[in-house]
């Protein structure tokens, strides 16, 4: 932000800035996406990264886990992946004549669900349910997932063969969806010239830990959102529900997501209040995947959201 208008939180700002800076060393030239990803995490949401293979999705997840001091597991989704492969499995113990639950890879603070659209819908929904409820029910026992719990799912664009694109209702489970895109020339040169990313990841020192992150999440959720700002959020929601521009209007859940995202973004910016700009900034990532244009307009979602924002005056 150009202005130093904000009362800065004493500890959050430098920590978060340091985090961004540190990840920026690994993922070159992608600061806006990094900030969004971090905001998504602070808003206790899950992130969907949709892009081609090889643009650094996995590296981003890895780097986030490292720097935030979270334990990390990666699940590679394939068409033969079963729900049990994610959630865990009960195994018979001949010694005790009983079943013991072996937790699956989801019992991790940061899960990378790689190429989620390669798995069958059944497996996808097992993951998505766990994401939503933050717990796993197996053999009648309910097991809490660790805190913080953050899923980064990656998805290949739909036109690739052999995928099960996530249905609209499931997309809603992700607070944000971002695209990384190709790096610009300078960033790519840095990538080519620099060390192997894996080596850098190895040496990366954490800035935060789980407890600190939880505290930041709570701070974000408490951030002040004034009546005027809520008016603005509601106006945005209302604008999607009328006028026939979109197939369906935004759900109340989308409204909550918008507000949570904006709060996290304001926290990242070091402010103690949410501004309309925060909403506008995170809106493409938060509602882009929740809106479907009416008719067969083949417009990019980001453009749609931008137009929506431009059509709604700030009250």
Indicate the residue among 94 and 313 with the shorter CB distance to another protein.
Answer: 313
Rounded to a whole number of angstroms, the minimum distance from the CB of residue 248 to another protein is 18
Site for another protein in 195-234 (CB under 8 A): 224-226, 228-229
* Closer CB to another protein, 158 or 218, in the complex: 218
Query: Taking phi first (over 0 means left), then psi (-120 to 50 degrees means alpha), and beta for anything else, what does residue 36 get?
Result: alpha
Binders of another protein in range 112-131 (CB under 8 A): none
Whole-angstrom distance, CA of residue 148 vs CA of residue 5: 31
Binding segment toward another protein, per CB under 8 A, in 11-19, 201-209, 284-292, 305-313: 305-313
Q: Which residue has the tokens 């790096």?
A: 183
2 binds another protein (CB under 8 A): yes
* Identity of the residue, 162 or 313, whose beta carbon is nearer to another protein in the bound complex: 313
Query: 148: cis peptide before it, omega within 30°?
Result: yes
Task: Using the minimum distance from each CB to another protein, give the nearer residue, 129 or 272.
Answer: 272
Q: Report the nearest approach of another protein to the CB of residue 236 (Å).
A: 10
* In the complex, least distance from residue 184 CB atom to another protein, rounded to whole angstroms: 23
Question: How large is the C-alpha radius of gyration of the chain?
Answer: 20
Smallest distance, another protein to C-beta of residue 272, A: 7
Q: Residue for token digits 């600190």?
A: 212
Interaction of residue 5 with another protein, rule CB under 8 A = yes
Is there binding between residue 71 and another protein (CB under 8 A)?
no
Q: In the complex with another protein, which residue's Cβ is closer, 6 or 147?
A: 6
Number of residues in contact with another protein under rule CB under 8 A: 23
- Residue in 45, 276, 284, 288 binding another protein, rule: CB under 8 A: 276
Residue nearer to another protein on the CB measure, 148 or 255: 255
Q: How far is the CB of 287 from another protein (least distance, A)?
A: 15
Number of CB atoms found within 10 A of residue 243's CB: 12
Q: Binding another protein by CB under 8 A: which of 1, 18, 91, 238? A: 1
- Helices 12-26, 210-222: crossing angle, 10 deg rounding: 120
**Taking Cα atoms as reference points, which of 267, 67, 81, 257 lies closest to residue 172?**
257
User: Of these, 138, 275, 285, 291, which contacts another protein (CB under 8 A)?
Assistant: 275
309 forms part of the interface with another protein (CB under 8 A) = yes
CB nearer to another protein: pick between 124 and 280: 280
Q: Is 261 in the site for another protein (CB under 8 A)?
A: no
Query: Which residue number, 144 or 222, has a Cβ lying nearer to another protein?
Result: 222
Q: Shortest distance, CB of residue 309 to another protein, whole angstroms?
A: 6
The binding site for another protein (CB under 8 A) comprises: 1-3, 5, 224-226, 228-229, 272-277, 280, 309-315
């Amino acid at each position: 932000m150009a202005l130093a208008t904000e009362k800065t939180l004493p500890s959050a700002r430098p920590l978060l800035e340091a985090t961004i800076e540190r990840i920026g060393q690994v993922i070159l030239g992608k600061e806006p996406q990094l900030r969004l990803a971090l905001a998504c995490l602070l808003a206790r949401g899950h992130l969907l990264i949709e892009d081609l293979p090889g643009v650094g999705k996995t590296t981003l997840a890895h780097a986030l886990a490292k720097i935030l001091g979270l334990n990390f597991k990666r699940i590679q989704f394939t068409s033969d992946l079963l729900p049990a492969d994610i959630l865990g499995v009960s195994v018979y113990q001949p010694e005790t004549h009983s079943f013991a639950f072996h937790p699956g890879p989801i019992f991790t603070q940061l899960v990378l669900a790689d190429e989620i659209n390669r798995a069958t819908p059944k497996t996808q929904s097992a993951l998505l349910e766990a994401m939503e409820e933050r717990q796993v029910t197996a053999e009648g026992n309910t097991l809490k997932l660790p805190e913080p719990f953050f899923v980064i799912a990656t998805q290949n664009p739909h036109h690739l063969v052999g995928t099960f694109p996530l249905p609209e209702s499931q997309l809603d489970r992700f607070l944000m969806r971002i695209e990384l895109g190709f790096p610009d020339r300078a960033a790519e040169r840095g990538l080519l010239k620099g060390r192997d990313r894996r080596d850098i990841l190895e040496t990366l020192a954490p800035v935060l830990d789980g407890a600190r992150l939880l505290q930041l999440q709570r701070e974000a959720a408490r951030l002040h959102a004034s009546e005027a700002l809520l008016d603005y959020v509601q106006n945005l929601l209302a604008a999607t529900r009328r006028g026939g521009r979109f197939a369906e209007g935004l759900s109340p859940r989308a409204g909550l997501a918008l507000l949570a995202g904006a709060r996290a973004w304001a926290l990242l910016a070091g402010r103690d209040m949410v501004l309309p700009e925060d909403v506008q900034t995170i809106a493409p990532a938060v509602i882009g995947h929740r809106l479907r244009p009416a008719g067969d307009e083949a417009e990019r979602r980001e453009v749609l959201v931008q137009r929506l924002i431009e059509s709604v005056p700030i009250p």
